[in-house]
Structure 1
Amino acid sequence: MGKQRATQRKNAAMLDSDDTESVSSDNNMMKSAAVEDVQCDKESVLDESLDALFVKRGSLRVKALADIVEAFNTSLPHKFVEKKCATLLHQCLNSVKRGSAKETALASHAIGLLALTAGEGEKSQEILEESVTPIFEALRSRSEVSKIVSLLEGLAVSAFVGGIEPEETEKCMQIVWQVVHPKLGPNVVATKPSPGVITAVVSAWSFLLTTMDGWILDPKSWQESVSYFSSLLEKDDRSVRIAAGEALALIYERGHLEKFCGSSKGDGISSRNVTHIQGLRSKVLNQVRDLSAEAGGKGSIKKDLNTQRNTFRDILEFLEYGHTPETSVKIGGESLTTTTWSQLIQLNYIKGFLGGGFIKHMQENEFLHEVFSIAPKKKSLSGAVHVSEAEKRMYRSPNSIMNKARTQFLNKQRMIRDMNNGHLASVMDEE
């Protein structure tokens, strides 16, 4: 009798074990099916939204573009991009050319998301090539701030992903620059850009500069940039000040101050130019010091004031001692740490562009993994977290953009320290 009960208990345990494994397997299959269903639903929404971009009614196109932006923010529809990238791009460009301000803003944002999802390669290069002229023409028209900001962001992100050749990126930087420094004809009256537009221009320009070797840039195009950024530090708008301060920090970090003050590498540096650069540097340093300790004025927002103080304290620490601020963000269980102004500017710009889609893209977008040299841990259907060795090798590759920027930064540290000690002229001679 005892043996019979023991046998029954053993059989029951085996059945329970089989049932548990079966339930676990069923749960995994259900999760997999659910994921596929969600992906199919999003593909279906994108197909319907793309069809809606062909209709004549503007409000329907605006709704469709809003749905497309939402879909690209909450997922990375690679299959859709693979099949219908060109069609979506051309319809978005049609909206940029002929749509209302709201439609244009959504369309340009969608173009940037399309490039970011496509990643580095032929598709993103085509997106940039096709988008430059329509966006440039749209920027030349007098428009609402939100439209201009979205156009600038769409162009900057597209160039960041698809601008393989330096000339392509610099062309986009020049387009961005012309929004606040337009080339005026005899019958064209200059309009004063709003603080929101100035902030967007400086931020987009700085974002693209992070991908460039300063010596490649045309010195004639940027001779007045440092002086202009210095003048922006005196503006009333704190967002303008912060953007200009970060742009100056980036220029100093790259060690190309003379490049942006009217001297190219092959021209040599005259004593007059050295005096000019030293004077400008001293002026910027005093401005940064004042802004890092500014007292709150009447009607000032405390949060904005604290942000300004903290930013300019970091900039002051960098200009005086060469110390860059370190920031850390958790992405999929991994820490993304920035240690240069270049990295910080890139991270903040991508974060601002993606908004609520930032975490999703940082977890799953391989292009961003390569840019920021991270390998977020992935969850399997069973909930287990793993990172493959291949991924680790890939994302730690010394060929990543950020590692290159880091190397360039370290190579310029000695020059920056010498500049801080008043030995700028001797450093220029060595270069």
Structure 2
Amino acid sequence: MPKGGRKKANGHQRTSGRSRVENYSDEESVLNDNASVVSIASSSIPDEGVEGEIDEQSQEEVFEEKLLECVERLSEKSAQVRTQALQAMAAALSKKYLPDFIFDRYVTLIEAIRSSLRRGRGPEQAAAALLAPLLCVSLGPCEQSEEVAATLSTVLHQVAGDNSASPQARAKCCWALAVLSFLTEMEPAAAYASERLLIDIFSGSYLKGDGHTPNIAPEVAALHAAALSGWTLLATVDGCQGLEMVGQDHLADMLGSGHLDVRVAAGEALAVLHEIKPLESPEQVCELLAALATDSSHFRAKKERKAQRSSFREILAFIEEGRAPELKIRFGTEALELDTWASRKHYEAFCQVLGSGLNLHLAQNELLRQVFALGAPLTAADPTQKATKLERHLVNAAAFKARTISRAKHRDKRSVAIAC
């Protein structure tokens, strides 16, 4: 988040009441692995959309009881149980905005995440890394979110730079580290160390000394793409310093990578940096982008070619003609307009963190509303909120009563008219 734009909370002061907006849909922001997280968590976290005899307050209490069970399971001896608990917590916190619940337990959650990152392996580290920025986002704009970032960034940095850790876990740690650095006012030395680490990781996709593209495995390419995307997110805050740390030539070289996610991440990085400060030699970059935007090589899969052409047409149009991308995200009665590459990068970051729960947090979470300049959360009931069974019954009963009274009055008038 742009530095200096944060609101501090003193002590235990929190916003009053808990939000209960349910069943949002977010077709534009589905996290690729969110489905697996939700499926694992489905047995632990109740689905709010299920209709039953329990009223809304009771559902809220049951939901929090299940969350407490997840918190307790974070300290189990079994790595599988801990991993499932981390995934269930992440699924729950993306579905609901629970600042009060998290505020009362954030120290416990910090220790659980740090322990899983240090002692866990593979899936457990990846699940812990996913939960780290979610914890910060769930707390909202307060001093405690700064504490979360300061405490967890160190261990995230260690795992992301550990070559013996799994590439999937390192990729999640790269994103988590970048998001925490973006959201909070970290010390300049710590922020620089994070950027330097991300650069060291994705530099593995630079051209070799002989000018050839390195041959890397798909999971390592995904790690490089995550590190580059995280660095690009931080470049939206640091400005043109990012271009000085990497250089246009290296990013242009990465456009020739054999992996689509690396090529797209490099293209988006060039677009963001060009938006901050025009590239020195855009003609060379546009030539490479044009080739990718019209690529019809049959050795690439049809789906890959389609995704590549779509992505690079937008990037080419911006660098060559100055046409910024435009995207409108509707949630409830509001709409979020993204008309810069920086704002799209911010939105992408929260898509990675919140998955399909992003719309709910856009409506209720003060931290996200500060990032996207949406103002204070609306107090009016959201039209997408699904009414409880009791609420629907009361509305239907009131409507039936009104119709009955209206018909009775109409009959009385007709009777009087006939009598006259």
* TM surpasses 0.5: yes
Instruction: Report the Cα offset of residue 73 of structure 1.
Output: 1.3
2:158 alignment partner, SS class: helix
1:356 alignment partner, SS class: helix
**Could you say if the C-alpha distance between residues 305 and 99 of structure 1 is closer, same or farther in structure 2, counting changes exceeding 3 Å?**
same
Comparing 47-56 and 90-99, the one that deviates more: 47-56
Counterpart Cα distance in 1 of 2:123 and 2:385: 43
Kindly indicate whether residue 224 of structure 2 is the aligned counterpart of residue 202 of structure 1.
no
The AA in structure 2 aligned to 1:309 is R
Counterpart contact for 2:332–2:382, Cα < 8 Å: no
The equivalent of 1:71 in structure 2 is: 92
Kindly indicate whether residue 175 of structure 2 is the aligned counterpart of residue 174 of structure 1.
no
Counterpart Cα distance in 1 of 2:358 and 2:83: 23
1:211 alignment partner, SS class: helix
Counterpart Cα distance in 1 of 2:137 and 2:151: 15
Q: Gapped runs of 5+ residues in structure 1?
A: 1-30, 183-189, 258-276, 386-431
Counterpart contact for 2:202–2:228, Cα < 8 Å: no
Counterpart contact for 1:120–1:161, Cα < 8 Å: no
The equivalent of 1:88 in structure 2 is: 109
Counterpart Cα distance in 2 of 1:134 and 1:166: 18
The AA in structure 1 aligned to 2:58 is D
Counterpart Cα distance in 2 of 1:53 and 1:160: 27
2:55 alignment partner, SS class: helix
Bigger share in helix? 1
2:369 alignment partner, SS class: helix
1:348-427 paired onto structure 2 within 5 Å = 348-374=348-374, 380=381
1:173-192 paired onto structure 2 within 5 Å = 173-181=195-203
Instruction: Kindly provide the CA deviation profile for residues 19-66 of structure 1, in whole angstroms up to 9, marking residues without a partner as x.
Output: xxxxxxxxxxxx9x8333233223222222222222222222112112
Instruction: Kindly provide the CA deviation profile for residues 102-126 of structure 1, in whole angstroms up to 9, marking residues without a partner as x.
Output: 1111111111100111123311211
**Could you say if the C-alpha distance between residues 218 and 340 of structure 1 is closer, same or farther in structure 2, counting changes exceeding 3 Å?**
closer
Counterpart contact for 1:329–1:337, Cα < 8 Å: yes
Counterpart Cα distance in 2 of 1:342 and 1:74: 26
1:180 alignment partner, SS class: helix
1:337 alignment partner, SS class: strand
Counterpart contact for 2:174–2:230, Cα < 8 Å: yes
1:52-201 paired onto structure 2 within 5 Å = 52-141=73-162, 142-163=164-185, 167-181=189-203, 194-201=220-227
Bigger relative contact order, structure 1 or 2 (CA pairs below 8 A, ≥6 apart):
2
What is the alpha-carbon root mean square deviation over aligned residues?
A: 2.8
Larger Rg: 1
Instruction: Report the Cα offset of residue 174 of structure 1.
Output: 1.8
Instruction: Kindly provide the CA deviation profile for residues 49-101 of structure 1, in whole angstroms up to 9, marking residues without a partner as x.
Output: 22222222222211211221121111112112211111101111000000121
Comparing 168-177 and 289-298, the one that deviates more: 168-177
Instruction: Kindly provide the CA deviation profile for residues 273-323 of structure 1, in whole angstroms up to 9, marking residues without a partner as x.
Output: xxxx43xx332121011111111423x333332222122122222112212
Counterpart Cα distance in 1 of 2:229 and 2:136: 19
Q: State the TM-score, normalizing by the size of structure 2.
A: 0.70
The AA in structure 1 aligned to 2:118 is K
Q: Gapped runs of 5+ residues in structure 2?
A: 1-51, 205-213, 387-420
**Could you say if the C-alpha distance between residues 63 and 282 of structure 1 is closer, same or farther in structure 2, counting changes exceeding 3 Å?**
same
**Could you say if the C-alpha distance between residues 302 and 80 of structure 1 is closer, same or farther in structure 2, counting changes exceeding 3 Å?**
same
**Could you say if the C-alpha distance between residues 157 and 285 of structure 1 is closer, same or farther in structure 2, counting changes exceeding 3 Å?**
same
